[in-house]
Structure 1
Amino acid sequence: MPGTRPGAEAGSARVGEAITAGDPAPHAPGATRLWRHPGLIGFLLSRSLSAVAFQVQAVAIGWQAYATTRSPWTLGLIGLAQFLPMLGLVFVAGQVADRFDRRRIATLCQLVEACCGVALLLASRHHAVSPFFIYGLMAVFGAAKAFEGPSLQALLPSLVPPALFSRAAALSSSLFQTATIVGPSLGGLLIMAGARAAYGSCATLFVLAALGMCLVRLEQPVRPRGPVTLATVFGGIGFIRSRPAMLGAISLDLFAVLLGGATALLPVYALDILHGSPFWLGVLRASPAIGALAVSLVLARWPLRRRAGRSMFAAVAVFGVATIVFGLSRSLPLSILAMMVLGGADVVSVVVRSTLVQLNTPDEMRGRVSAVNLLFIVTSNQFGEFESGTVAGLIGTPASVVAGGIGTLLVTVLWMRMFPTLRRLDRLEDRPD
């Protein structure tokens, strides 16, 4: 859900998300042992810096594009420009991640993303930023994210022993949420200083992220060098289809966020509905991550030990209700609170889905399975932005957001009937299928 994946990693958002389940109440000796794996330090540094850069860029582009055009359609097309290349490349990217050095793939992608920041900086300096320029550059950015996402998702399990994986994943998730809080707020402040300051900072942070990935050291496993066939490229689809609980968790997140996502429309709310400044746009974008971090800390102390499936459905329903409240709100404090609740509910879905994906996938399949998972995330985020901008352009922004929240509630009820295996899922450590 977009609370932890604003505008994308969403990464972007959710693009490089990690689980917070398992044994998340680390004892001091176990936590100490984590730092004996230097590859993990470089990975966490790189991922955190990249997440901050992504959020700064998302705030800057969203504010600049909407302030120039005053059109929700522009915001939707920015999401579509990122979505289309990721849709076309994500399966190839998964195959690449399973055949080549994942560290080098991630490093190269981060350098390409830094170049996008430099291009935005130069265009802003010469007053040459137009909507079509942004669309083209975001297409390049989306292509880089298509390769970076599966590589990062598949890399973490290789950096620590299985006994320490849940603690490493919990630490990675906490740092990512912190970056998602810092990034939008920093972006709001930087855009007040000027677009060049924001884009220059993005480029610098992406370069530092690439340098952090260069610090990652691990014994590289032998990668398969057999012929590439359609069966191997699309192997992740067959793997997920054979596991109904995993398919249900991933697809529930897809449709709930596709309908209920309001992230792309935050510039409209900040500027026209709540009458705020770029700083408050940054605060609104950071609010889901604040809620997500709070809930992830709670889950780290009191993990989902029972009724994981029902907890996921309940969290998605809360996500839908929070979306409706945000859509109707005309109060800045209430809007911030609604986004925080939205982000907190998102974490429960992330825990269940990511646990099923990461701990039930063999290493030689992780790149391709992560690519399918990324495709669902990207569809919900980037294509969701296009859907949100298009519907808002047709029926108005508040009506679009409220209708999306209602749609999320309907999807939750439908998925409970379609995927009884997921609904009955009890312990996350058990194999559900």
Structure 2
Amino acid sequence: MSTPLPPERAPLRTLPAFMRFWYARLAGTTGNQMLMVALGWQMYDLTGSAWDLGLVGLLQFLPALLLTLVAGHVADRHDRSRILALAMAAQTVVAIVLMLATHGHWASRWLLLVLSVAVGTAKAFQMPAQQALVPSLVPASALPRALAFSSAGMQAAIVGGPALGGFVYVAGADVVYATCAACFIAAGVLFLRIGHPHVPPPKEPVSLRTVLAGFQFIWQRPVVLGAISLDLFAVLLGGATALLPMFAKDVLHVGPWGLGLLRGAPAAGALCMSLVLTRWPISRRVGHVMFAAVAVYGLATMVFGVSTSFVLSLVALWVSGAADMVSVVIRQSLVQLETPDAMRGRVAAVNSIFIGASNQLGEFESGATAAVLGPVGSVLLGGAGTLFIAGLWFKLFPDLARRERLTERA
């Protein structure tokens, strides 16, 4: 009779709660990606305005920015799987309203904008609870593999969701919204079936101090602060996504098909690397590996900046996505393992703010420097800046740089 593997060595598929979470996240992310494709296309079809397209994105980002700290506090005080189920329920209602409005020909610009706010509000509560739930579903030693496997599902949904949404849109926007609603319902049911026992934290009155406790926790722990801020500045400086249309048209001389491949290349690299990390997790010299991954990300960005070959540009973006995934998995694992469960929601909320700020401000930084230096100069400066930040942070956060294992107890 064979001896069962200990939880930390067992295949992730044998952990039923985590697999329900994984399938739920896959369904929810796919539904959200399809919803974004249909919502953007329908808005442009209704108004023909690029400004309105920008408003759709802005009105989803603002609730996340304004409510994330409150959402993190909620995630630490209430059952996280139920919060996720409620977030899926809210997005289901949005999808059903859009389906009915489209089918009944009463969809309008204002309706789409209001529902964009609703989606952003639901996601503001979803993200901290989602990040904080994973460590309670798997043993600490299996967390890096779990995060890599979870990222693989998310990247697959990010790559496949828009393509599926565009394909289904041929049958009509209402069909896309109905499919989205089915995805959200499936995700909500799976979240409710996780069966994770919620342990309420010690009762304390809600105050500004408790809401902002995540910032204080991060500030007092150099390893956590260094990991989160390194990612913030690396993405802020090194991202080239906003400039891809300029590179596709003016540098690489390819059409929309080429732009689509360029946009998908980083996600494809991240997906491949997440699958590798699921099978072979990083267990030694994690600090050095993380800094090396950020440096590779910066170098790949610079290669993309100077490339005039479409194939080389695709490879550089693929490498940048793969390197970024290494950094993401190590950073998330370190942050989650260094944070007690009662604080994970608030720390995840702060992390979400940093990620959102780096993405949004990074696009602005790329556009502003490109206006002065041109697209190639902007990307080269950003890649060089990422390398500088990696070297500076290596000196400023020696405990992070010397970190041998993800958990000091290992």
- Fold equivalence (TM over 0.5): yes
Matches within 5 A, 1:22-421: 34-35=12-13, 37-59=15-37, 78-118=56-96, 126=105, 136-162=114-140, 164-190=142-168, 196-264=174-242, 274-277=254-257, 283-327=261-305, 332-385=310-363, 387-388=365-366, 400-421=378-399
Deviations 1:308-333 (A, max 9, x none): 22322222222223334445556554
State the shift of 1:161 in Å: 4.3
Change (3 A) 1:114 1:397: farther
| Larger CA Rg, structure 1 vs 2 | 2
Q: Aligned pair in 2 of structure 1 residues 165, 142: CA closer, same or farther (>3 Å)?
A: same
Distance 2:221 2:171 in 1: 50
In 1: Cα distance, 2:63 partner to 2:307 partner: 35
Distance 1:182 1:151 in 2: 24
Please state how far the C-alpha of 1:146 moved relative to its aligned partner. Answer: 1.4
TM superposition shift of 1:253:
0.7
Q: Per the alignment, do residues 245 and 208 of structure 1 end up closer, same or farther by CA in structure 2, a change over 3 Å counting?
A: same
Paired residue secondary structure (1:238): helix
- The 1:326/1:255 distance shift into structure 2, 3 A limit, reads same
The code of the aligned residue for 1:352 comes to I
Q: Deviation at 1:64? A: 6.9
The TM-score normalised by the length of structure 2 is: 0.81
Any idea what SS the aligned residue of 1:218 has?
coil
Aligned residues: 403
Give 1:366 deviation, angstroms.
Answer: 1.1
Which of 1 and 2 has higher RCO (CA within 8 Å, sep 6+)? Answer: 1
Q: TM-score, normalised by structure 1?
A: 0.78
Displacement of 1:50 after TM fit? 1.5
Question: For residues 261 and 95 of structure 1, do their structure 2 counterparts lie closer, same or farther at Cα, with a shift above 3 Å needed?
Answer: same
CA separation of 1:33 and 1:405: change in aligned 2, threshold 3 A? closer
Letter paired with 2:316? A
CA contact (8 A) 1:37 1:160 kept: yes
Shift of 1:105: 1.0
Provide the C-alpha distance between the structure 1 equivalents of 2:9 and 2:282, rounded to a whole number of angstroms. 21
**Per-residue Cα deviation, 1:158-180 (whole angstroms, up to 9, x for no partner):** 22444654554443233333333
Q: Cα RMSD between the aligned structures? A: 3.8
Q: Which amino acid aligns with 1:145?
A: K
Deviation at 1:404, TM superposition (A): 3.4
Deviates more, 1:260-269 or 1:210-219: 260-269
> What code does the residue aligned with 2:210 have?
T
Q: Which amino acid aligns with 1:419?
A: F
Where do 5+ consecutive residues of structure 2 fail to align? none
